[in-house]
Amino acid sequence: MFSPEPADEKQLLKAVLAPLLDDFLYWFDLSLKALEKKSLSFMAPAEQEDLIARIRQAQGEVMATKSLFQATDGNAGVDVQVLMPWHQLVSECWQVAQKRRQLEGEA
């Protein structure tokens, strides 16, 4: 079985993880701006505030992870169990945005 050299692993980590963290931050920022802009008719205010709070928390976690990754020059990885909740939250944000667009299209 082929085992990549440590330098190759570092390059792969930089090539995959750095853009992934940037993507999380992009989608969280976009979602936050949309959610803070106006109330959504299909979500209770408490649900919307909860989603905003979870996005802010995830944003902070991703920024901290990105800072650590940069400070170690790409030598720190991230466990999949840490990434999955962020991925699920981005998915939830996409679903909310899709529902909002659908409802706005019907109006």
Number of H helices, E strands in the chain: 3, 0
Kindly indicate the confidence band of residue 2, based on its pLDDT and cuts at 50, 70 and 90: very low
Mean pLDDT of the chain: 91
Q: What is the per-residue pLDDT for 14?
A: 85
The count of other CB atoms within 10 Å of the CB of residue 92 is 14
Write out the two tokens for 29: 């920022």
Orientation of helix 80-106 relative to helix 45-71, angle to 10°: 140
- pTM attached to this predicted model: 0.88
Q: What is the per-residue pLDDT for 107?
A: 63
The count of other CB atoms within 10 Å of the CB of residue 80 is 8
More confident residue, 13 or 35: 35
Q: What is the per-residue pLDDT for 9?
A: 79
pLDDT at 5 over 60: no
Sign of torsion over alpha carbons 38, 40, 46, 48? negative
Write phi, then psi, for 4 (nearest 5 degrees): -65, 150
From first CA to last CA, the distance across the chain in angstroms is: 58
pLDDT at 95 over 90: yes
Write out the two tokens for 71: 């400070």
More confident residue, 98 or 12: 98
